[in-house]
Amino acid sequence: MSVIEEQILAQIKRYETIIIHRHQRPDPDAFGSQLGLKAILEASFPEKKIYAVGKAVPGLAWMSEDDEFMDEVPDKAYRDALVIVVDTANAPRIDDQRWPNGLEMIKIDHHPNDEPYGDWQWVEAGKSATSTMIYEFYEALKDQGLVMTAKAARLLYIGIVGDTGRFMYSMDKETFRVVSELFGYPFDYEAVLHHMSTISENAAKLSGYVLQNLTILPSGFAYLVLSKALLEEFNLQDSGTAFVVPLPATIDKVKAWAIFEEQDEGNYRVRLRSRSIVINKIANQFEGGGHPMASGAWAQTPQDIERLINILDTALLAQNGVSEDGSGTN
């Protein structure tokens, strides 16, 4: 156990009100680590008020078994609260910008620590998911009052399944060990996997469109722009398109890829993935960031899209040992 985990528990014990935040546009690990930590703390300290805040995402409402998906928290609750932010590398991406109103703040995350905000930081960029860390936090300190429940175990399992792409990426012995511990709690694993492996009929049709229309460059870089009009045609919104992001990985010659999703404001959310070059530094140049092989960014204009495609294509060509004019370098 590291000192920081003990310091975090000591802070939790000091406060009556604890408000847990996570990032905007949450994914299963953001919700899993947030709601999983909330469930652990509620079971461990029934006398404390524990809140989970941020915008509810209808597509992920199934993760919560409570009627109230996210908590409504009055401003005054922050006055004497401890704030914990999970799974969020950069402060501007924290959902619910009231987080600085708490008395003290703790960051728990598994992204590179590009922005070390908060009074305490427990950041381990090598971890498969923030949900993995939350289980380890419980495990390290169970002798000091932390209690695990089936509800928390289910949420953490969902987070790990989400961030590892159903155990395909960032997997290691430790993550399998944590998953095997989580399997010791009674929840319906198969129902969770079913939820995370099936998509609506419209989504399946969009998947077909993505595979048919992906542009694959000779470097192994692939991309596709999903316009708002197209998403409307498939009756899907940007928040319901996460399932298309891993699809290019099924094509053997694709080494890195970007899916551009047009927003109401006319700009584009960019979802970047790689199994070759490191992409988070490139994402940093476009208001983004994330993991070395899975990042997000923004393109404000079609010119930004072109520029980003160019940078990624050139980086792959360089990695392949081909210079921009097409001649080989090794």
Residue 159 contacts ligand AMP per CB under 6 A? no
Q: DSSP string covering 42-55, please?
A: HHH-TTSEEEE-S-
Q: DSSP string covering 247-274, please?
A: GGGGSTT--EEEEEEE-TTS-EEEEEEE
**Residue found by looking up tokens 């922050």 in the block:** 78
Residue of the chain from 32, 118, 248, 288 that contacts ligand AMP (CB under 6 A):
288
Q: How far is the CB of 284 from ligand AMP (least distance, A)?
A: 8
Contact track, ligand AMP, 96-115, x by CB under 6 A: ---------------x----
Residue of the chain from 48, 49, 93, 177 that contacts ligand AMP (CB under 6 A):
93
By C-beta, is 89 or 148 nearer to ligand AMP? 89
Q: How far is CA 265 from CA 110, 256, 269, 287, in A?
A: 30, 27, 11, 16
In 3-state terms, what secondary structure has residue 229? helix
Q: How far is the CB of 175 from ligand AMP (least distance, A)?
A: 16
By C-beta, is 144 or 300 nearer to ligand AMP? 300
Q: Which stretch binds ligand AMP (CB under 6 A): 38-46, 203-211, 284-292, 304-312?
A: 284-292
Q: Which stretch binds ligand AMP (CB under 6 A): 41-49, 178-186, 219-227, 285-293?
A: 285-293
Q: How far is CA 31 from CA 22, 44, 99, in A?
A: 7, 19, 17
Burial of 296 (0-12, 13-18, 19+ CB in 10 A): buried
Q: Which stretch binds ligand AMP (CB under 6 A): 53-61, 197-205, 283-291, 316-324?
A: 283-291
Nearest residue to the partner ligand AMP, using Cβ: 296
Residue 271 contacts ligand AMP per CB under 6 A? yes
Residue 54 contacts ligand AMP per CB under 6 A? no
**CB contact at 8 A, 213 and 247:** no
**CB contact at 8 A, 316 and 221:** yes
Q: How far is the CB of 9 from ligand AMP (least distance, A)?
A: 26
Residue 289 contacts ligand AMP per CB under 6 A? yes
Q: Which residues pair with 18 in a beta bridge?
A: 50, 82
Q: How many residues bind ligand AMP (CB under 6 A)?
A: 16
Residue 220 contacts ligand AMP per CB under 6 A? no
Question: Which residue in 92, 134, 140, 150 sits closest to 296, CA to CA?
Answer: 92
Which helix H or strand E contains 299, and what residues bound it? strand 294-299
Residue of the chain from 17, 219, 274, 295 that contacts ligand AMP (CB under 6 A):
295
Tokens of 301: 């204009």
* 326 half-sphere exposure, CB direction, 13 A CA radius: 2
Residue 290 contacts ligand AMP per CB under 6 A? yes
Q: Which stretch binds ligand AMP (CB under 6 A): 129-137, 178-186, 223-231, 291-299?
A: 291-299
Q: Which residues bind ligand AMP (CB under 6 A)?
A: 23, 27, 89-90, 93, 111, 271, 287-291, 294-297
